[in-house]
Structures are given as structure tokens and as C-alpha cells.
């Protein structure tokens, strides 16, 4: 599919996906969501891709949020469709066996922050600001923002930010654990690529199984999550990557993983 509002670039097992609507601060309208859905599905099916960096075009905005001009005219039924589509796309990102890194280069409000929260790891420019600001417009987060944010920073802090529609800077986002690294604007994408390279140096199946164990475990009680972890770890002992990794360690060389 040709994209009007996305740029998808491949660098071997790494992809950089850029939301490219800078004239509207990369806001999410129906067309952008449709394209994003297609891109996410293509990424999910690409067996060669292992890490995806998601960012926004231009110096000002990652994803400013949902397109308010479009949102203003939605009926309740239309909004249910729009919100359901956005939530489903983000859930697909979250649950696939790829690692998603958000490189938050500017404003990430509302649906923009919700999109970043669907990524596994978030790096941010020191000039960026983020927030779930929907209640200031008479609406509320609907891409599962009310569910993810409390899981990241605790329910009380999440309520404070959502109820006040606060816009916080990068330093505060890092302090509360919402993002994992703060960088100068020109260092943000290189830092995200450096992180990707570190992830890509490791065994593909081990990384994917670890992601699944973490995410599934957060939905389970501790004992069931622990049992799932043991199951996943045991399956890895049947893989070529396991044999290569341990053999390479004994032989004091770098392993060559095949994802098998």
C-alpha cells in the first residue's frame, strides 16, 4: 500500500515508521489511522523485522493527538468506530512479537501519548511535552489511555494527570517513569537506533518470548505468571538459538542467531 501520511523505512531487521502529517502536527484522523492499521499489519507479518521505531515528522510534534477538526463532527456511533479502530491498532502493536520504540520528538497529547504508550519503550526529546489532555475538550481518552497510564505510573498519579489535563515536560515524564530516556532533539533518533541495535544483537526468540512473558504476566496473578514464564523459558531450550548462544559463550565468541 502507498502511504500518504506515513513513511516506512527499512534498515535490515529495523524499521523506522514516521507519521508524516507535519502541517497538522501529525494528528490522527481517519485516513492516518487507516494507513497506520495497514502498516502495523504489514510489520506484524514481516518475519525479517524485529524492532520498529515510531516517530513523527518535523521538529514540533510526535503525534499531537486525534484530529480535533474531525472529532468535532463525530456522532457517538462514529466515535465508537474511530476509538475502536485506534484501540485495536495500538493493541496489535503492543501484542506482536516485535519490539516497538517510541521516539517522541515533540508534542504527544491525547491519542499521541496513547500511541507512544502502546510501544514497549519510550525515548523523548528534551523539548517535547506529553499528556492525556482530553477532558479539557469535554471528552476522555479512548485508545485505552485510562488503562495503560495507571499501569505505568500508578492510579493516583494517572488520575491527577488525566483529571487536570496536564501537559508535562520530558524531565517530569522521565521522573514518573513514563519514558525511559531523555535526549537532545538531534540525539533522539540516533539514541533510539542505538537501543534497537542492542536489542537486535540478542536472540530473536528469547527477546520475543520475554516480551510476551512480561506483557501476559501483568494480566495474571503472580503464581500463574511465574508458571507461564517457566513454560516459555523451557520452550527456548529446544531452539537452535539456545544452542548457539550457550556454545558461543563457552567458545568465547559472538553468537550468530537465526531466530530458530
The x, y and z cell numbers of residue 146, run together, are 485510562
Q: Give the separation between CA 127 and CA 170, rounded to whole angstroms.
A: 7
Q: What's 122-185 look like in SS3?
A: EEEECCCEEECCHHHHCCCCCCCHHHHHHHHHCHHHHHHHHHHCCCEEHHHHHHCCCCCEEECH
Give which of 121, 153, 120 is closest to 132, Cα–Cα: 153
* Known active-site residue 134: yes
* Known active-site residue 114: yes
Distance of CA 89 to the CA centre of its chain: 11
Q: Give the separation between CA 113 and CA 106, rounded to whole angstroms.
A: 11
Given the residues 2, 11, 94, 134, the one annotated as active site = 134
DSSP state of 259: -
H helices of 11-110, in order, are 30-45, 68-71, 76-95
Q: Give the separation between CA 10 and CA 12, rounded to whole angstroms.
A: 6
Given the residues 114, 126, 172, 251, the one annotated as active site = 114
Give the residue numbers annotated as catalytic, written as ranges. Answer: 114, 134
Amino acid at each position: 500500500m502507498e502511504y500518504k501520511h506515513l513513511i516506512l523505512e527499512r534498515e535490515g531487521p529495523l524499521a523506522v515508521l514516521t507519521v508524516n502529517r507535519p502541517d497538522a502536527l501529525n494528528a490522527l484522523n481517519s485516513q492516518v489511522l487507516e494507513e497506520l492499521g495497514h502498516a502495523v499489519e504489514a510489520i506484524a507479518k514481516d518475519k525479517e523485522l524485529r524492532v520498529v521505531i515510531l516517530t513523527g515528522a518535523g521538529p514540533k510534534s510526535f503525534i499531537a493527538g486525534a484530529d480535533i477538526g474531525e472529532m468535532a463532527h463525530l456522532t457517538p456511533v462514529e466515535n465508537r468506530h474511530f476509538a475502536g479502530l485506534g484501540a485495536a491498532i495500538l493493541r496489535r502493536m503492543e501484542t506482536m512479537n516485535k519490539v516497538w520504540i517510541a521516539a517522541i520528538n515533540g508534542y504527544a497529547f491525547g491519542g499521541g501519548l496513547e500511541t507512544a504508550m502502546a510501544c514497549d519503550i519510550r525515548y523523548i526529546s528534551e523539548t517535547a511535552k506529553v499528556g492525556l489532555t482530553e477532558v479539557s475538550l469535554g471528552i476522555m481518552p479512548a485508545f485505552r489511555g485510562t488503562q495503560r497510564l495507571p499501569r505505568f505510573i500508578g492510579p493516583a498519579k494517572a488520575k491527577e494527570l488525566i483529571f487536570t489535563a496536564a501537559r508535562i515536560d520530558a524531565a517530569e515524564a522521565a521522573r514518573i517513569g513514563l519514558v525511559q530516556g531523555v535526549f537532545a532533539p538531534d540525539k533522539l533518533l540516533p539514541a533510539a537506533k542505538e537501543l534497537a541495535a542492542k536489542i537486535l544483537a540478542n536472540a530473536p526468540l528469547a527477546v520475543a518470548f520475554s516480551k510476551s512473558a512480561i506483557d501476559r504476566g501483568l494480566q495474571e496473578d503472580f503464581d500463574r505468571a511465574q508458571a507461564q514464564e517457566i513454560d516459555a523459558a523451557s520452550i527456548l531450550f529446544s531452539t537452535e538459538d539456545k544452542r548457539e548462544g550457550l556454545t558461543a559463550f563457552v567458545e568465547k565468541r559472538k553468537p550468530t542467531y537465526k531466530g530458530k
